[in-house]
Amino acid sequence: MSHGGIDIPVIETERLILRGFAERDFAVIKSIYADPEAMRFLGGVMNEYDAWRRMAAMAGSWQLRGFGIFCVEGKAEGECVGYCGPMRPHGWPDNEIGYTFAPAHHGKGYATEAAAASLAFAYERLGWDTAISLIDPDNHASQGVARKLGAVRERTGAQVTDFTADIWRHLTPAQFLARRGAA
């Protein structure tokens, strides 16, 4: 899919489409950033302007780094349900697979499905040899997603730019892809 001259791949899973952001996705992104439950572990709620800037930064990563966060569209919903993908903002300790979903879509397995597709993309298409997920120590749901993907907590209380988080190290490409192929 081409967005402003940038070719962003489209990845389909059983229930999801991972694609570039479009302006129509902002209503959902804005609602995620305004929701205290969704933002509990991500620095707190944001106003509309800051939510727009965050979405634009996720989209802009594709231009600057050649990879970035995908908008995750639920096939059943026909709209954005959250976001997920490979990322490495300035100052990050390593390549990360990040994920955030609207609270209405928590508990559906979307985060695990999208993160697995994103990790496979990072290993197979981007050539990453490692990946992490930065997770708040109290975010048990996100830790569960990481565990389902085979990640282990490598370090607690790591200082990352203006926050601290636990570093969860994902399986190596060979381990992850072999495990995924066996599933």
The pLDDT of residue 36: 95
The pLDDT of residue 5: 65
In a domain, 169, yes or no: yes
In a domain, 34, yes or no: yes
Question: Do β-strands 152-160 and 6-7 pair in parallel, antiparallel, or remain unpaired?
Answer: unpaired
Distance CA 71, CA 128 (A): 21
Distance CA 140, CA 124 (A): 28
pLDDT in tens, 78-129: 999 999 999 999 999 999 999 999 999 999 999 999 999 999 999 999 999 9
Q: Do residues 85 and 59 touch, judged by C-beta distance below 8 A?
A: no
pLDDT in tens, 36-91: 999 999 999 999 999 999 999 999 999 999 999 999 999 999 999 999 999 999 99
In a domain, 1, yes or no: no
In a domain, 35, yes or no: yes
Look up residue 74 and give its two tokens.
């639920």
**How many distinct structural domains can be found in the chain?**
1
In a domain, 2, yes or no: no
**pLDDT tops 60 at residue 3:** no
Centre a 10 Å sphere on the Cβ of residue 116 and count the other Cβ atoms it contains.
Answer: 21
Beta-carbon contacts of 6 under 8 Å, excluding residues fewer than 6 positions away, are 20, 62, 63
Q: Which residues span the domain enclosing 139? A: 9-182
What mean pLDDT do residues 151-163 have? Answer: 95
The CATH number for 133's domain is 3.40.630.30
In a domain, 133, yes or no: yes
In a domain, 36, yes or no: yes
In a domain, 157, yes or no: yes
